Chains A and B, each alone.
Chain A
Amino acid sequence: MKKRLAEEIFKFRHQPVALYGTLAFVILLIYTGLNEGATPQMLALGFGTNQWLALVLFALSSSIFAMEYQHGTILMLVYKSSSRLSLYLAKFLVVFLYSVLLAGVSLVVTFGLKIILIGGKYSWVMPINGHQSLLTALLLNLAGTLIYGLFIISLAFMLLMLVKLNVAVVGIGFAIGFIGTSLSRAFIGAFPQLSGIAKWNPLNMIFVSQQLADPKYARLSLLSNSQIILATILYALLFMVIGFNLFKRRRV
């Protein structure tokens, strides 16, 4: 497993997709900052980190697997390893580590943009959402985004094994990123008498990236913080199990 992970990190470091993904992420954060302004809400959300990080992760997760099939290197990977699980987990871990790196980039960009756009206005220790400092809200949002990242990576891997087409997976990812929460709200609203069950739908897990720092989102998701964290992780595990079984059965 250690060797597999080292190989994956080596490949990932040299892949242009990692660099382009990071650049696109930074540009999107700056665009949001310039467009929306450095309001306390925007600062707490890291200039839309939850949304942009999810999109970058979706695109990158599916391409990191798809390229192995495209270049025929999957054959070497599988025959050189007795455990397909270690291959799958190594790729998963690399993308997750990348999401942690992007969260770090988001912190730096958010701090930098604040200084450039508004200077000393709004202190990082000022209270927001009634019960926490601006910095705590930002860190909680990033933590929620990383938990959501687990969900996104496992979903992207599973979808790629299912549809075998990178473009289709990226398309689905973008749809989830932009209209996922609206779809979830519409679904829960369509069956108000079944909201107790409907609130557990997978699209509702997207709220985990916002509600840890802002309780108003908990009223939309109808789930408590601990419920949504646990459910998101369980969904990630479920997608991992399904995705891995599809990968195991896929011919190379």
Chain B
Amino acid sequence: MLTVKQIDVYIGRKQIIKQVSFQVKPGEIVGLVGPNGAGKTTIMKTILGLTKFNGKITVNQQAITENHHAPLAKVGALIEHPAIYPFLTGLQNLQLYSQDPTDMRQLVTLLQMDAYINTKAKGYSLGMKQKLGIAIALLNQPDLVILDEPMNGLDVEATISIRKIIKQYAERGTAFLISSHVLSELQKVMTQVILINHGSMIVNQNVAAFNQRAQKQYQLNTVANAATTKLLQAHQLTFSKTKTGFLVPREEIFAIQDLLAAQQIHLKMLAPVQLNFEQIIVDLLERQRGREHEKTLS
């Protein structure tokens, strides 16, 4: 469906995306996760042929370039803000892009927009605009849908409804690439997770494998945390700092205990931790920052 191969994106002289590669297969829901400014929207815009890039992007084996958008005919998108003309009604906004009136009507009902679809969009609330933006992205039975922060401004009911619709479309074979800062929501729908930071891809895993990271952490606290930091760094052991101590990988706890014992640093606590999705992301980002910091120092 979608293949992104070693893309680099520059804005001016600054490199925004660095050698990012991934695939989205039919029916997959891929979550694009990362902090603000990581490059998520740039990746989405690049896939839509809106930015110059080096590397290769194909949709259904057809290459996309800045000047060749024909393969995007079956791609729907909602990027940054819903692309809505306020002087048109919701229905007229949909009609601008719709190729199938029946499909358009079904979407209106599916997204529960019947009550206001014939009123001008300038009077819509943020959530109503967002729903209309999602409806535009889902028009014409797309093969791939790119959604940038789709849950923005949606209330709980609408969020649940959109989640169901995404799953429903995915079951029919539509592929999704979704970015969201509401990680808990994304977690409920995605089948694959891609973590981006500073334009580089840190993780590209299916959700089951990604969740295994949750049981791989131990919380460590010693009587001399500063000395412990130096010791772990000196032996190039993986760790991240928390408010009270460290998070260390399960497979390294015996080595760490031996090292601490040799230095007569006593343990105050060593306990397994169950990380939730957000904590795993934060932990991965902190580790990457730690590695970058070390690189800078060396």
Binding site for B on A (CB under 8 A): 7, 10-11, 14-16, 67, 71-73, 75-76, 78-83, 251-252
Contact = CB atoms under 8 A, between A and B. Distances in A.
B85 to A, nearest CB: 6
B128 to A, nearest CB: 15
B100 to A, nearest CB: 15
A73 B97 contact: no
Interface string B203-231: 00000000000000000000000000000
Contacts of B48: 75, 79
A76 B83 contact: yes
B84 interface: yes
A82 B50 contact: no
Interface string B40-69: 000001001111000000000000000111
A71 B97 contact: no
Given A15-B87, A16-B87, A76-B97, 12 more contacts: A14-B87, A14-B92, A71-B86, A72-B80, A73-B83, A75-B45, A75-B50, A75-B79, A79-B49, A81-B69, A251-B51, A252-B45
Given A79-B49, A79-B69, A80-B97, A11 B85 contact: yes
A130 to B, nearest CB: 49
A127 B79 CA distance: 62
A7 B96 contact: yes
What are the nearest 7 A-B pairs in CB distance? A76-B83, A79-B48, A82-B69, A73-B83, A72-B81, A72-B83, A15-B87
Nearest to A74: B83
Given A71-B83, A75-B50, A78-B50, A10 B77 contact: no
Contact of B50 (A15, A83, A252): A252
A187 B1 CA distance: 62
Given A79-B49, A79-B69, A79-B77, A14 B86 contact: no
B84 A79 contact: no
Given A15-B87, A71-B86, A80 B81 contact: no
Contacts of A16: 87
A72 B86 CA distance: 11
7 contacts: A71-B84, A72-B81, A76-B77, A79-B50, A79-B69, A80-B97, A82-B67
Given A10-B96, A75-B50, A82 B70 contact: yes
A11 B68 contact: no
Contact of B85 (A73, A82, A252): A73
Contacts of B85: 11, 14, 67, 71, 73
A82 B69 CA distance: 5
B88 interface: yes
Contacts of B136: 76
Given A73-B85, A78-B50, A79-B50, A11 B69 contact: no
A75 B68 CA distance: 15
Contacts of B190: none
B162 interface: no
Contact of B96 (A11, A71, A79, A81): A11
A67 B67 CA distance: 23
Interface in B79-133: 79-88, 92, 95-97
B196 interface: no
Contact of B72 (A72, A79, A251, A252): A79
Contacts of B68: 82
A10 B92 CA distance: 9
A15 B79 CA distance: 24
A14 B81 contact: no
B124 to A, nearest CB: 12
A83 B68 CA distance: 8
Q: Which of A7, A15, A71, A251 has the most CB of B within 10 A?
A: A71
Contacts of B95: 10
A75 B87 contact: no
A80 B69 contact: yes
A83 B11 CA distance: 22
A10 B91 CA distance: 13
A78 B51 CA distance: 11
A75 B96 contact: no
Contacts of A67: 85
